[in-house]
Chains A and B, each alone.
Chain A
Amino acid sequence: MEEKQTRKPFPTHILVFLAPAAIIYTLFMVYPLLDSLRLSFFTIGEQNQEIFVGIQNYITLFTDTNYAPRFLGALKNNLAFFAIHMVVQNSIALLLAALLASGIRGSSIYRSVLFLPTVLSVVIIGFIWQLILNPLWGVSESILEAVSLGHLFQPWLGLPETALITVSLISVWQFVGIPMILFFAALIGIPEELLEAARVDGASGWQTFWRIKFPLILPAVGIVAILTFVGNFNAFDLIYTMKGANAGPDFATDIMGTLFYRTFFGQQLQLGNPTMGATVAAMMFLIILTGVLLYIFLWQRRIQEIEM
């Protein structure tokens, strides 16, 4: 049996417990991330050596005619992608959660069904919707015709004006279950006395929800917002599956994740460029970090002040 160490600061057993996690995490997560950030200040020379170029890669990304339009396009699309999730996904999630938390019969069955798409792979979801929306199969068109809206049908995924909205809504369809459960958990956590008091005062269901319940679940709203933000600015799989690395038509569905992939690995006419890829990743890192810091220092602090 192991003998107890007498030297205080760092006994072996603590080291044994912590070392595997610290090593794997540092080696495969922290180090590569820092290394990527470092590489964004370098370029690869002809002898495969790294040459320090300062912020040249960033200047290229923002001004070069090959990079700037793609980068700004991807950024704009990604913001739209995020906005659609915030508005559509999180509103539907709030509505569903409010209904589920109202003590409705069969609540747990509904929850299981509505959560289901989140456990399926994005690749499967992407292909399923590609088939459902495919004009060749005509399933969506038949459904629209059944409610006499057949004339509205268009190959939404293929048109530059509608492709981004369509893939965003498919992503919403898949992930609405996550904010739904988070809102639901927050709603059922509200103490009954508060709601009882509101009823005694004659508040309507609508008033009770917006004046009492909603302010009380603001912490969950913040968590949902930041999870949506991080998830959206890190998204890739759905667009890659449905529209390929070129995020067509004409880059209409290009977001930061697909831009990163193309820049790093190259595409038909352009060779892959690890240092420019690292630069795109560094921009994604900056965007996500800004969101997370805003959340922690502005949102959470305000919430804590309110709660106190």
Chain B
Amino acid sequence: MTTLTKDHTNPSTSFGYRARRALGGIAPHLVLLLYAVIVLFPIFMIIINSFKDRKAIFGMPFQFPNAETFSLIGYETVFERATFQIYFTNSIIVTVVALVLTLLIGAMAAFALAEYPFTGNTLLGLYLAIGIMIPIRLGTVGILELMVNFKLVNTLTGLILIYIAQALPLTIFILSQFFRQVPRDLKDAARIDGASEYRIFTLVVPLVRPALGAIGIFTMIPIWNDLWFPLVVAPGAETATVTLGVQQFLGQFVSDWNAVLSSLTLAMVPILIIYLIFSRQLIRSITQGSIK
């Protein structure tokens, strides 16, 4: 394919060439558009049908709700029967607290590993890195036992501690690479001025802020979406997260299509909105992170 050599001196003008070129330009778009439709269609179907009455959901599933078919009956059921406010509060508490603590604790450890060449540094780094590849779920029997002993079953604290442990290995691994890139001069200058090591840590952390943001998003999504640990260690109604709450609610109301569609929409929309705002940064940081 010589069309890409940008040979401007001899532009080919034959019909076949132009047709092929046009096709070559359109075909990738067709493939990507087709796949985008496959991705968006199921989500779109759930959202538009959640605003219709039952008859219209089955009678004309592909149409937008109109004045005649519009109905909020599903949402009414959901707000009456389900305790979504509690689920959302629980999810927000668990995710935010686990996230903040992971970043703080992880940054501290990563800083120490990157900054001080103490005995056993490499070994400790390796020890902490094992958890990147070994899923924490495999220790569930031990975790549940631990939770029972510490009286942390059916508490948000229990979930938070598990999620911090789950997120720490990758956080420390990535952050320590970023901390290593911070120029020495800056830290040495601060040391000469008599700054403590804690003060130097607070000076250096803002320099790795982009990495903190990226890690924050990676940490947040699996915590928010996790079903396993809420199901295993905090299945109670008081501590259910959105993911578990939706799972249980849908199990009960499986034949009430309005309620099912509405609760799915309710569970999706907050994530979709956040994704709409942050997707570019998220994807850019994965792209850059994986090149490293």
Interface residues of A (CB under 8 A from B): 1-2, 4, 9-11, 13-14, 16-18, 20-22, 24-25, 27-36, 39, 92, 95-96, 99-100, 102, 104, 106, 108, 110-124, 127-129, 131-132, 136-139, 142, 173, 181-182, 184-186, 188-189, 199-200, 202, 204-205, 220, 223, 226, 230, 234, 236-237, 240-241, 257, 260, 264-265, 274, 277-278, 281-282, 284-285, 288-289, 292
Q: Which residues of B contact A21 (CB under 8 A)?
A: 105-106, 108-109, 128, 168, 172
Least Cβ–Cβ distance between A288 and chain B, in angstroms = 7
Q: Which residues of B contact A204 (CB under 8 A)?
A: 1
Closest 4 CB pairs of A and B: A32-B142, A35-B142, A32-B139, A21-B109
Q: How far is the CA of A6 from the CA of B35 in the complex (A)?
A: 63
Q: How far is the CA of A131 from the CA of B279 in the complex (A)?
A: 27
Question: Do B137 and A236 touch across chains, with their CB atoms under 8 A apart?
Answer: yes
Least Cβ–Cβ distance between A140 and chain B, in angstroms = 10
Least Cβ–Cβ distance between B51 and chain A, in angstroms = 15
B111: interface (CB < 8 Å)? yes
B174: interface (CB < 8 Å)? no
Question: Do A121 and B280 touch across chains, with their CB atoms under 8 A apart?
Answer: no
Interface residues of B (CB under 8 A from A): 1-2, 4-5, 28-29, 31-32, 35-36, 38-40, 42-43, 45-46, 57-58, 61-62, 105-106, 108-109, 111-113, 116, 118-119, 124, 127-128, 130-131, 133-143, 145-146, 161-162, 164-166, 168-169, 172, 194, 196-198, 201, 221, 224-228, 231-232, 242-243, 246-247, 250, 257, 260-261, 264, 267-268, 271-272, 275, 279-280, 282-283, 286-288, 290-291
A202 — nearest CB in chain B belongs to which residue?
Answer: B2
Q: Which residues of B contact A234 (CB under 8 A)?
A: 135, 137-138
Least Cβ–Cβ distance between B193 and chain A, in angstroms = 12
Least Cβ–Cβ distance between A200 and chain B, in angstroms = 8
The contact of B197 among A13, A182, A202, A288, by CB within 8 Å, is A13
Least Cβ–Cβ distance between A160 and chain B, in angstroms = 21
Least Cβ–Cβ distance between B167 and chain A, in angstroms = 10
The contact of A17 among B4, B108, B161, B243, by CB within 8 Å, is B108
List 5 extra interface pairs beyond A2-B198, A28-B161, A115-B283, CB under 8 A.
A28-B162, A123-B227, A142-B62, A181-B283, A240-B231
Q: How far is the CA of A64 from the CA of B231 in the complex (A)?
A: 29
Question: Do B141 and A278 touch across chains, with their CB atoms under 8 A apart?
Answer: yes
Q: Which residues of B contact A240 (CB under 8 A)?
A: 227, 231
10 A-B contact pairs sorted by A residue (CB < 8 Å):
A16-B108, A22-B109, A36-B141, A99-B28, A104-B28, A108-B280, A110-B32, A121-B225, A185-B287, A223-B290
Question: Do A173 and B268 touch across chains, with their CB atoms under 8 A apart?
Answer: no
Q: How far is the CA of A119 from the CA of B273 in the complex (A)?
A: 11
Least Cβ–Cβ distance between B53 and chain A, in angstroms = 15
Q: How far is the CA of A180 from the CA of B272 in the complex (A)?
A: 20
Question: Do A284 and B62 touch across chains, with their CB atoms under 8 A apart?
Answer: no
Question: Do A185 and B32 touch across chains, with their CB atoms under 8 A apart?
Answer: no
Q: Which of B46, B196, B227 counts the most A-chain CB atoms under 10 A from its CB?
A: B227
Q: How far is the CA of A184 from the CA of B194 in the complex (A)?
A: 47
The contact of B139 among A36, A137, A139, A236, by CB within 8 Å, is A36
The contact of B38 among A173, A186, A282, by CB within 8 Å, is A173
Q: How far is the CA of A40 from the CA of B45 in the complex (A)?
A: 46
- Known contacts A1-B196, A281-B140: A96-B35 contact under CB 8 Å: yes
- Known contacts A185-B290, A285-B138: A25-B197 contact under CB 8 Å: no
